[in-house]
Amino acid sequence: MSAAADSVFLVTLEAVETPGGPTLTVLAFAKAETPDAAGAVATDELAGFGWRDIRALRTGELVDFSALPDDFRDAVATAQRFGCGLIIYDEP
């Protein structure tokens, strides 16, 4: 099933920021047409920042923006404007 071109997906990833560092959890909000495309957008965004060992774990389309926690809103707005917004958890 294909979503609309302006859909935003939440992609949960694991990746390593620095060589020898721990695997961290990253939430990526990615604007894309399909879940697979959103995973690629999120992976490319992290790779562009030099992250390694990137694994997309799950992806879901956002359908109710009003239900998002306040601390997600800036990342979603970034995704809507630029294609991808990230929230990085600094503990494994």
What's residue 26's pLDDT? 97
Point out which residues pair with 16 in neighbouring strands.
Answer: 23, 52
pLDDT averaged per 10 residues in sequence order, the chain, 92 residues = 72 95 96 96 97 97 92 95 94 64
What's residue 6's pLDDT? 75
What's residue 75's pLDDT? 96
Whole-angstrom distance, CA of residue 55 vs CA of residue 76: 21
Whole-angstrom distance, CA of residue 7 vs CA of residue 23: 28
Instruction: Domain 7-88: give its CATH code.
Output: 3.10.510
Query: Helix (H, G, I), strand (E, B), or coil: what is residue 64?
Result: coil
What's residue 4's pLDDT? 53
What's residue 5's pLDDT? 61
What's residue 62's pLDDT? 95
Helix, strand, coil fractions of the chain, as percent rounded to 5 = 35, 40, 30
Domain boundaries, the chain: 7-88
Query: Helix (H, G, I), strand (E, B), or coil: what is residue 11?
Result: strand
What's residue 90's pLDDT? 82
